[in-house]
Amino acid sequence: MPDVRSSALFVPEIKQLLSFKEYHELKMDLAEVNPIDLADGWTDFSPREQVVLFKLMSVPKAIDLFEELEAPEQMHLLNTLEIGALGPVLEELGPEETSSLFHKLPDRIIRRMMSLMRRGKTESAPLLFSFPENTAGHLMGPTNLPLHPQQTAQQALDQVRMSTKLHRMGELHALYVTDDHGRLMGVVSPRALIAAPRDMKLAEIMSPVQLIKVRADADQEEAAHVFSKYQLLAAPVVDEENHLLGILSVKDILHVINQEATEDMAKLAGTEAGELETGSIWRVVRLRMPWLLASWLGGIVASFVIHSFESTLSHVVALAAFMPVISGMGGNVGTQSSTIVVRGLATGHIQVNEIVITLWRELRIGVLLGLGYGVFLGGLVFWQYGGIHPLTFPMVVGLGICTSMTVAAVMGAVTPMVVQRFRIDPAICSAPFVSTATDILSLLSYFTLATWLLI
């Protein structure tokens, strides 16, 4: 069969040979098909047919095909093929291809691949496994195109052509220049390389990367901040001595941002992101129960606060009618403030050392919101109870909601910044702590004002 570029020309013939189980002839035909073209038509075959075709291919062809397939198709083969058919392919994959592949696959599949690789060339295990999970080093891809500053633009272009597959050229956002010892020196964009004179040295073309790089041991969230700050499509990953270890792409960072956002939203809601992946009711209960403990304890404390002011309540029973709205509005404002601050800390828009600025801002917001709702609620109370209670009663209720909303805004802003200063994830404890503290302080201030002004 001739080497054709369109999968439509050979897929029908291959499917016919599969249906008649002409495996000998099919094996010879597959030897003539370009793996790139076969990958283009791979989805035209059923999952069972895909496994048969992969088994019939020679190891070099199977490796080329495997590298061209999308992650779901690779996972299907890894899950389905037995060790005899899969092992030789994995053993022949280079570290760069293996590293690139591992970033696409779940841990269960990676563990199986590693066990198979240990049967052969264990030295091909990628560098990323020497770094802890959730670090830039674990997340990075391989450095398959290190360039030298004394190379000319033409030599660099020739190296790019030889080292990069055509269908992956769109992922080539930056080229990194290193010295003889592998230390990062600069970066060259493919566009600048193409536009430069052929004999110009890379040392004259490259730009410095002293600020726009990521340490391998940096947390993946810190790496996401770098991408967000500089609007990057790719960034080099270096060690403490500035050796180029790998490359982070915007695809990797988008995955991190989505993962971190999911975790933060789950924590703010009082649970964990693992709840999305489990179908067990008991596991969901175990995930949610610890987060509800703070609210439960806060409710107990709030009940003691109410109990300590029973004499005030017995004199003005109507005070109890406005407890829900006062604590509820305080809780809402506290949640708003803490959510904004937690997100600001996560994205880098708010810094921990800006606590005074943030506190002053949220204090003013809380006062203005509290005054607005305090006037409205005080007017409503005066209209409803003006003939029964003195003017100080609507004043107490209005001041109560104003104080509640102000305190809540301050607590919502300060709490995430304080806990982050102690290297605790603010998303973990901000919501339950702010809500609980706001309820207690709101009721305490409300009944204290009532005791002073009404009794």
Q: What is the pLDDT of residues 132-173, one digit of tens each?
A: 777 888 778 776 677 889 999 999 888 887 776 544 555 677
The counts of H helices and E strands in the chain are: 21, 5
Distance CA 385, CA 402 (A): 19
| 123 has pLDDT over 60 | no
CATH topology for 7-125? MgtE N-terminal fold (1.25.60)
Using a pLDDT cut of 90, give the percent of the chain over it.
9
Maximum CA extent, the chain: 100
What H or E segment, with its residue span, contains residue 192? helix 190-195
User: Residue 430's pLDDT is what?
Assistant: 65
User: What is the full DSSP assignment across 348-412?
Assistant: TSS-GGGHHHHHHHHHHHHHHHHHHHHHHHHHHHHHHHTTTS-THHHHHHHHHHHHHHHHHHHHH
| 434 has pLDDT over 90 | no
pLDDT tens profile 389-415:
778 889 999 999 999 999 989 988 888
CA dist 230 to 99, 168, 211, 247, Å?
A: 26, 24, 10, 16
User: Residue 371's pLDDT is what?
Assistant: 94
| 367 has pLDDT over 90 | yes
Average pLDDT on 208-212 reads: 71
Residue 449 is encoded by which pair of tokens? 């004002």
User: Residue 222's pLDDT is what?
Assistant: 83
Which of 98-102, 229-233, 281-285 is predicted least confidently?
98-102
Instruction: Report which of residues 270 and 288 the model is more confident about.
Output: 288
User: Residue 290's pLDDT is what?
Assistant: 72
Average pLDDT on 338-355 reads: 79
Using a pLDDT cut of 70, give the percent of the chain over it.
76
Residue 100: pLDDT band by 50, 70, 90 thresholds? low
pLDDT tens profile 292-328:
777 788 888 888 888 888 888 887 888 888 888 988 8
User: Residue 3's pLDDT is what?
Assistant: 44
Q: How does DSSP classify residue 214?
A: E
Residue matched to tokens 């960034």: 235
User: Residue 121's pLDDT is what?
Assistant: 43
Instruction: Report which of residues 267 and 315 the model is more confident about.
Output: 315
Average pLDDT on 209-234 reads: 81
For helices 392-421 and 355-385, angle between their N-to-C axes, nearest 10 degrees: 160
In this structure, the number of other CB atoms found within 10 A of the CB of residue 204 comes to 11
User: Residue 6's pLDDT is what?
Assistant: 57
Distance CA 288, CA 347 (A): 26
| 211 has pLDDT over 90 | no
Give the mean pLDDT of the chain: 79
CA dist 272 to 334, 336, 430, Å?
A: 21, 20, 14
Instruction: Report which of residues 212 and 333 the model is more confident about.
Output: 333
CA dist 396 to 328, 377, 391, 438, 447, Å?
A: 17, 10, 9, 18, 9
Amino acid at 129: F
Average pLDDT on 111-122 reads: 55
Average pLDDT on 36-47 reads: 88
Tell me the backbone φ, ψ of residue 207, rounded to 5 degrees. Answer: -110, 150
For helices 323-347 and 250-268, angle between their N-to-C axes, nearest 10 degrees: 160
Please, which residues bridge with residue 207 across strands? Answer: 187
Average pLDDT on 194-213 reads: 85
Tell me the backbone φ, ψ of residue 336, rounded to 5 degrees. Answer: -60, -50
| Contact status, residue 246 vs residue 142, Cβ threshold 8 Å | yes
Distance CA 50, CA 73 (A): 9
Homologous superfamily of domain range 153-249: CBS-domain (3.10.580.10)
Instruction: Report which of residues 44 and 96 the model is more confident about.
Output: 44
Residue matched to tokens 């691949």: 113
pLDDT tens profile 12-40:
889 888 888 888 888 888 888 888 888 88
User: Residue 87's pLDDT is what?
Assistant: 67
Burial 130-146 (b: 16+ CB within 10 A, else e): ebeeebbbbbbbbbbbe
Distance CA 74, CA 101 (A): 9
Residue matched to tokens 């604590």: 327
Q: In sequence order, which residues have a C-beta less than 8 Å from that of residue 237 and are 6 or more positions away? A: 136, 137, 140, 213, 214, 215, 216, 244, 245, 246, 247, 248
| 273-454 belongs to CATH 2.60.120.200 | no
User: Residue 109's pLDDT is what?
Assistant: 66
Which of 73-87, 94-108, 185-199, 431-445 is predicted least confidently?
94-108
In this structure, the number of other CB atoms found within 10 A of the CB of residue 277 comes to 8
User: Residue 401's pLDDT is what?
Assistant: 92
Q: Percentage helix, strand, coil, to 5, in the chain?
A: 70, 5, 25
Q: In sequence order, which residues have a C-beta less than 8 Å from that of residue 277 and are 6 or more positions away? A: none
Average pLDDT on 411-423 reads: 83
Q: Where are the domains of the chain?
A: 7-125, 153-249, 273-454
Instruction: Report which of residues 120 and 351 the model is more confident about.
Output: 351
Average pLDDT on 104-121 reads: 59
For helices 23-32 and 11-19, angle between their N-to-C axes, nearest 10 degrees: 160
Please, which residues bridge with residue 219 across strands? Answer: 135
